[in-house]
Chains A and B, each alone.
Chain A
């Protein structure tokens, strides 16, 4: 479930605890009525404050969410080397600039939940070392996107060489 894209106006407001509870517990109820329930995961933004992340964690435990995806793109433009106008384009920033923040987020959630909630990590994965960093932080699985564009079609084999 995606409430963390910065590109649908107001969408990120749904990351607020009560709004989230309403939607997620509704989906959980439907899921439990099925013969073969499917895992439900919530994808979160790297721009959440610590207290917002804590809210997400509390809620995830409360409604027995199957997992979290950390993280989506960031609206921050901090620490970029690029100086031209492209930096001013509206949208979500992905790739190397979100790598560290995403890893920290994974580690924080993993520690806070004692590893009880599986995490899919995404954010700035280009190499096998990057995968290892995410797994070491507590991720169960990883995802690439920007890395696929920069490293090309051989990225899966490349990042698994650890």
Chain B
């Protein structure tokens, strides 16, 4: 069925479709009944826990960085069965990224070309969202022990305006901000 939906969606600008699709998912996940229905429907049959770095990943499949740059769709991605999500790339300051259009489809090659350019809201805004997520998860976990945990990783970069010689500072800022918020939950 998705092949049909895809055929339709691929007629429109890739970035707009991305936002439209994620907004639709957000709507579904807004109510606990429909969210639970989606979670049950998407639940992978072969979920096998993988333990690495002392962290238990619900399964081996993660979503790569660049998709949820601002940690805006964690609930939705968890419902789709992902074991992990790598948020970001985040930079110290928010930045708009390159001019649109900046993502292109090559359906014949099953490929994409993107030049997003680290568009993101900045590490502070992202950390605030992660804290909200964490609080929400803790309240859910206290009620339901069987809740599957989503592992969150953070992808950090440097602002476009930061020269390479000072890049280490950008990485430090992002790293410190994320250190106490990230991984597990």
Contacts of A142 in B (CB 8 A): 60-62
Interface string of A132-162 (1 = CB under 8 A from B): 0001000011111110111111111101111
CA distance A90 to B113 in the complex (A): 8
Docked complex: A81-112 residues within 8 A CB-CB of B: 81-82, 86-87, 89-98
Query: For this complex, into which size category does the number of interface residues on chain B fall?
Result: 35 or more
A11 touches B175 (CB 8 A): no
Docked complex: A37-95 residues within 8 A CB-CB of B: 38-41, 43, 66-67, 73, 80-82, 86-87, 89-95
B25 beta carbon closer than 8 Å to chain A: yes
Most chain A beta-carbon neighbours within 10 Å: one of B14, B45, B108: B108
Give the tally of cross-chain contacts (CB within 8 A): 197
Query: What would 30 A/B residue contacts be, using CB atoms closer than 8 Å?
Result: A1-B155, A1-B175, A2-B88, A2-B157, A5-B118, A5-B157, A7-B116, A7-B117, A8-B158, A27-B172, A31-B179, A43-B65, A67-B53, A94-B114, A97-B109, A131-B61, A135-B60, A141-B52, A143-B62, A144-B62, A145-B64, A149-B112, A150-B6, A150-B110, A151-B2, A152-B2, A154-B2, A156-B83, A157-B42, A160-B45
Docked complex: B1-21 residues within 8 A CB-CB of A: 2, 5-6, 14
CA distance A82 to B113 in the complex (A): 12
B33 beta carbon closer than 8 Å to chain A: no
Contacts of B182 in A (CB 8 A): 38
Contacts of A96 in B (CB 8 A): 109-111
B59 touches A2 (CB 8 A): no
B109 touches A95 (CB 8 A): yes
Partner of A8, one of B2, B67, B160: B160
B135 beta carbon closer than 8 Å to chain A: no
A34 beta carbon closer than 8 Å to chain B: yes
Nearest residue in B to A93 (C-beta to C-beta)? Answer: B113
A14 touches B64 (CB 8 A): no
CA distance A37 to B25 in the complex (A): 34
B115 touches A90 (CB 8 A): yes
B98 beta carbon closer than 8 Å to chain A: yes
Partner of B113, one of A89, A118, A148: A89
Contacts of B45 in A (CB 8 A): 157, 160-161
Known contacts A7-B117, A8-B158; A120 and B111 CB within 8 A of each other? no
CA distance A155 to B156 in the complex (A): 26
Partner of A10, one of B60, B108, B164, B172: B164
Contacts of A90 in B (CB 8 A): 115
- For the complex formed, measure the closest distance between the CB of A71 and the CB atoms of chain B, giving whole angstroms: 10
CA distance A9 to B163 in the complex (A): 10
Nearest residue in A to B24 (C-beta to C-beta)? Answer: A153
Nearest residue in A to B156 (C-beta to C-beta)? Answer: A1
Most chain A beta-carbon neighbours within 10 Å: one of B14, B55, B108, B109: B109
Contacts of B59 in A (CB 8 A): 156, 160
Contacts of B46 in A (CB 8 A): 160-162
CA distance A91 to B59 in the complex (A): 31
B155 touches A43 (CB 8 A): yes
B117 touches A156 (CB 8 A): no
A153 touches B80 (CB 8 A): yes
